[in-house]
Amino acid sequence: MNTRLARRLQTLAAIEISLVLAIVILTGALVAFGAYIRSVSNELTGTLTQLHSSLARRSLSDARAGGRYAASLLLGAASEIVVLDAATRVTVYRAHRADPQPVTTVRGRGDNSGDPRPSGPFARVILGLATTFGLQPLRARVGNLYVVVRSNDLALVSAARSFFVPLLVALAIAASFGFLIARALTRQALRPLDDVTAALERFASGDLTPHTIAADDRQELGSLATAYNGAIDQLERAFAARDRANAGMRQFIADAGHQLRTPLTVVQGFIAILRRGGFENPQDRDHILDTMNDQSKIMASLIDKLILLERWQSPQPAPPAVPIDVGTLVADLVAPIADAHPERRFAISTQDGILAKIDPSELGYVVTNLADNALKYGRGKIAVNVRSEDSTAVIEIADEGPGIPSTDAERVFDRFYRGTQRDVPGSGLGLAIVKRAVERAAGTINLVTGPTGSHFIVQLPRVN
């Protein structure tokens, strides 16, 4: 897999996960800060209530006296009390939580210099957040005195800053966990890509052995592994088809060579005899020439059949055919065959008006080849029947011969397969041509054979 891509994805995932964890931590920190601010607000409210009631009972009208009384209270470090009269401002606060006595500053009414004020980074941010969470000064009037109870900003900032280090540590831990989680998730998510890449690299190196890989559609790239496995299945089928095609081609070449070798050998032998002379008898010469002519016709017929079969084997669909009357055409095709063989009885039964889309010449190959086989291999009556069955036109040609052995019946439609009856003249291509012609018309052909004869059934789609 591309290491750069993995690194980029891992970085992006680490950033996203770290941001999510950081948001969770910061949200928790803000919730804790809000809870702290609420406790401070409650403390301010309690302090103001206590101070108001006490000053009212004592009837103190001097800011100094009010400040001294405020200093005598159990003042928390989070609070700051300001007591004002017409001329004096007294501020009371505890500088640190551990100090035993609060700090009291007395100044003029308009002098704020004695109040605790924080400084340094994040002070304004902390105070702004405190205001956002509802922390406000509380005010009351007791006689001639004005009392202000507010938060000790110095203590507030100091308390918030004490959480900065744990917060930064938590964020650092979140970033580390984000990196580790992102690394694990990236490896798991990219595993199908790694497996597919490794498999393709094996192909590139010359190892064409198909290997499927584990696929899980629940993963982001699981569909990639599924698609790869589908491609591997297709490749295996393609390899198997290639092997079958190669085996078939080798068998085809061997069979074609064998079929052509016999007549060619005869022709070559007679040519050699003619070259030597010695046939002064015209009858012998005529016999030789006739034999050579017959063998040439056999070779020409075989070559024509091979060319025809090869043309029909093309994956291109057959040209569109017009509907023809199957019964009429079959009767016209079988009639001259029956007339030419008066020694055999033909029983022809057809129905008119059964239409099917098939080229008439291709249907001629089907009928004449099946009838010719019945003449050569069968005995007794030859029955030819054309009928309609639902949406199918059915052509049946049956003989009363010995039938075809079961071992031969499975392969009678293969090229050059002639079974055990090799004493009968033929090329072994007839039934292969028949089957291909029927398939080109989107039909089927089946053989039912037994001791009482062979029965070929052709089914073609009807046209209404």
> How many whole angstroms separate alpha carbon 127 and alpha carbon 115?
15
pLDDT of 170 strictly over 70: yes
Q: What is the pLDDT of residues 15-27, one digit of tens each?
A: 887 888 888 888 8
Q: Say if residues 214 and 195 touch (Cβ distance below 8 Å).
A: yes
What is the model's pLDDT at position 251? Answer: 62
> How many whole angstroms separate alpha carbon 57 and alpha carbon 55?
5
Any idea what the Cα angle at residue 298 is, between residues 296 and 303, rounded to 5°?
Answer: 95
Pairing between β-strand 346-349 and β-strand 382-389 as defined by DSSP bridges: parallel
Of 374, 362, 373, the closest CA to residue 426 belongs to 373
Helix 3-58 to helix 164-204 angle (10° resolution) is 160
Give the global pTM.
Answer: 0.45
Q: Where are the domains of the chain?
A: 3-166, 220-316, 323-461
What is the model's pLDDT at position 76? Answer: 73
Compute the average pLDDT of residues 103-126: 80
In 221-281, alpha helices (H): 222-276
pLDDT of 89 strictly over 60: yes
pLDDT category at 13 given cuts 50, 70, 90 is confident
- CATH T-level assignment (fold) for domain 220-316: Helix Hairpins (1.10.287)
Q: Say if residues 326 and 438 touch (Cβ distance below 8 Å).
A: no
Instruction: Measure the N-to-C terminal CA separation of the chain; round to a whole number of Å.
Output: 60
Bigger pLDDT: 277 vs 104 = 104
- Identify the helix (H) or strand (E) that includes residue 94: none
Say yes or no: do domains 220-316 and 323-461 share a fold.
Answer: no
Of 70, 72, 92, the closest CA to residue 142 belongs to 70
What is the model's pLDDT at position 385? Answer: 92
Q: Say if residues 429 and 415 touch (Cβ distance below 8 Å).
A: yes
What percent of the chain is modeled with pLDDT above 70? 75
Give the phi and the psi of residue 451 in degrees, each rounded to 5.
-65, -20
pLDDT of 396 strictly over 90: yes
What is the model's pLDDT at position 394? Answer: 92
Compute the average pLDDT of residues 291-319: 68
Of 379, 380, 371, 386, the closest CA to residue 430 belongs to 371
Of 103, 70, 102, the closest CA to residue 84 belongs to 70
Q: Say if residues 77 and 94 touch (Cβ distance below 8 Å).
A: yes
The contacts of residue 256 (CB under 8 Å, 6+ apart) are 302, 306, 416
CATH placement of domain 323-461? 3.30.565.10
Q: What is the pLDDT of residues 252-273, one digit of tens each?
A: 666 566 566 667 777 777 777 7
Q: What is the pLDDT of residues 34-69, one digit of tens each?
A: 898 898 888 888 888 888 888 888 877 788 888 888
131 vs 41, 82, 138, CA distance in Å? Answer: 11, 19, 13
**Out of 95-99, 114-118, 277-281, least confident range:** 277-281
Bigger pLDDT: 344 vs 417 = 344
Q: Say if residues 149 and 47 touch (Cβ distance below 8 Å).
A: yes
